[in-house]
Amino acid sequence: MGKMKKLPQGLGPVLIFAATLLVALGLGIGIRYLLTGSGAGGIPSPVTIGGPFTLTDPQGKEVTEKSFPGKYLLVYFGYTYCPDVCPTSLGTMAEALGKIGKEKAAKIKPIFISVDPERDTKERLADYGEAFYSGMAALTGTSEQVAAAAKQYRVYFAKVKAEDAEVGYLIDHSALLYLMGPDGKFIRHFSHGTQAAEMAAALEESVK
Ligand code: NI
């Protein structure tokens, strides 16, 4: 029996059975994934993105998902001390909005949600929002409100220690830009690194 000699009698067939079972299980999962398919932007469709949130704007006014009726929302989570990712993402977004027709751009409300309420004061947020795009809502809230909003959008964020002691800390965060419809439903997302022209074309297509 060659190599099988060391195995206790009867174990060979058991191993073959186990291997077959694993392959079948793998196929099953694969087929299930194929059947469920992928939603817009490659995110599996059963995952819901977005939902109710309660935050505060720089004027101290409460803002919820219902505060911009009839508007498409471009939702981005970040923080004003972010050295590179946020400025790049928001710069690209602003550039893309500048490339599309004015009528369509007017239907879109960009929303920046700070995951750093500790440092992002109302004044800081007001300046930050306007610096990138006139009319961008720059929101934050209590830690609990921010965490709840991030959870709705499946956004991950976590404090990390900065090498530069003056900054204190950085925040690792998901860098996805979400396009939500006027009905509050997720339409698609844009990954960090998407080019402005590509984003503009997608916005032209998605915004009716
Ligand atoms: Ni950032």
184: pLDDT strictly greater than 60: yes
Same domain (yes/no): 129, 200: yes
Which band of pLDDT confidence, cut at 50, 70 and 90, is reported for residue 109? very high
pLDDT of residue 34: 40
Percent of the chain whose pLDDT exceeds 90: 74
Burial classification of residue 24, based on how many CB atoms lie within 10 Å of its CB (0-12 exposed, 13-18 middle, 19 or more buried): exposed
Tell me if 76 is assigned to some domain. yes
How much distance in Å is there from the Cα of 80 to the middle of ligand 1? 7
Same domain (yes/no): 148, 173: yes
Count of the separate structural domains present in the chain: 2
List strand residue ranges (DSSP E) for 62-175, in order: 62-64, 72-78, 108-114, 137-139, 157-161, 169-173
Question: What are the Cα distances from residue 109, in Å, to 45, 47, 136, 160, 174?
Answer: 24, 23, 7, 30, 20
* Helix, strand, coil percentages, rounded to 5, for the chain: 40, 20, 35
Who's near 150: CB < 8 A, 6+ residues apart?
77, 113, 115, 156, 157
Same domain (yes/no): 24, 61: no
pLDDT of residue 57: 97
pLDDT of residue 167: 73
Return the minimum-mean-pLDDT range out of 41-50, 143-152, 166-175. 41-50
115: pLDDT strictly greater than 50: yes
pLDDT of residue 32: 44
Tell me if 2 is assigned to some domain. no
Which band of pLDDT confidence, cut at 50, 70 and 90, is reported for residue 23? low
Rounded to an integer, the average pLDDT of 119-124 is: 96
Same domain (yes/no): 77, 160: yes
Burial classification of residue 179, based on how many CB atoms lie within 10 Å of its CB (0-12 exposed, 13-18 middle, 19 or more buried): buried
Which band of pLDDT confidence, cut at 50, 70 and 90, is reported for residue 13? low
What is the DSSP secondary structure assignment for residue 184, as one 8-state letter? S
pLDDT of residue 12: 57
Same domain (yes/no): 168, 196: yes
Same domain (yes/no): 31, 111: no
Tell me if 65 is assigned to some domain. yes
| Rounded distance between C-alpha atoms, residue 33 and residue 19, angstroms | 21
| Rounded distance between C-alpha atoms, residue 179 and residue 190, angstroms | 8
How much distance in Å is there from the Cα of 120 to the middle of ligand 1? 13
How much distance in Å is there from the Cα of 33 to the middle of ligand 1? 32
pLDDT of residue 11: 55
Same domain (yes/no): 31, 86: no
Q: Which domain holds residue 18?
A: 11-42
Percent of the chain whose pLDDT exceeds 70: 77
What value does the mean pLDDT of the chain take?
A: 85
Q: Which two tokens stand for residue 90?
A: 């928001």
Tell me if 5 is assigned to some domain. no
How much distance in Å is there from the Cα of 175 to the middle of ligand 1? 7
How much distance in Å is there from the Cα of 42 to the middle of ligand 1? 22
pLDDT of residue 47: 75
- The angle formed by the CA atoms of residues 126, 131 and 132, to the nearest 5 degrees, is 110
Same domain (yes/no): 31, 81: no
Rounded to an integer, the average pLDDT of 191-204 is: 97
